[in-house]
Amino acid sequence: MRQLFVLVFTLFTALTVRAESGSVESISAGFYQITTNDFGDSKYSVFTTKLMGSYLKSEVSFIKVGLTFVSECNGVSTTDGKVPKAEGTCLVVDADGDKFKLNFSRTNTSGSSSSGVQNWVGMTGKYVGVKGTCNYENKSQVYNGSVYGVNPVKCNVTK
């Protein structure tokens, strides 16, 4: 009976999927297309961004350092006399064609640096089952009427 128990326990342990987790760091940059609408007391801006980036550090096997990606994001920025904020969603596609979605939220000040959070949800390929929580910095600058941004990101991901 004991041998049967040891056999079942050993098989169960061998078949149990272990989650892999660790930190990942990346940087991305690109151009922001902004449409501003003023509705009296509040100001709302709808924006889209297309960013290119690369992973700089990775403690997980499924994300390789140097792998590049493209992010396409849509969001809304609000200023209503309180702290301005920006929220939205991005679709991220890496050089292998694998995808994940990220939702972001941050304080928003154009032409300076603002911090925020991202939540990753894996969609295809190596990202299936991936969840992540990230802190990032949006460093934007206005040049000749256009807004450009750089985003260093530090994430804790689990698969």
Residue ranges of domains in the chain: 20-158
Does position 145 have pLDDT exceeding 60, yes or no?
A: yes
Question: Looking at residue 6, what is its pLDDT?
Answer: 47
Per-residue model confidence as pLDDT tens digits over 6-18: 444 454 444 455 6
Q: Which helix (H) or strand (E) holds 77?
A: strand 68-79
pLDDT confidence tier of residue 33, bands split at 50, 70 and 90: confident
Question: pTM to 2 decimals?
Answer: 0.82
Return the structure tokens found at 134: 């990230």
**Single-letter code of the amino acid located at 45:** S
Question: Looking at residue 82, what is its pLDDT?
Answer: 72
Interval 123-146 mean pLDDT: 93
Rounded Cα distance between 64 and 120, Å, is 17
55: left (phi over 0), alpha (psi -120 to 50) or beta: beta
Per-residue model confidence as pLDDT tens digits over 49-88: 999 999 999 999 999 999 999 999 999 888 766 778 899 9
Which CATH class for the 20-158 domain? mainly beta
More confident residue, 5 or 48: 48
Question: Looking at residue 95, what is its pLDDT?
Answer: 97
Beta strand pairing call for 113-122 and 131-143? antiparallel
Question: Looking at residue 56, what is its pLDDT?
Answer: 98
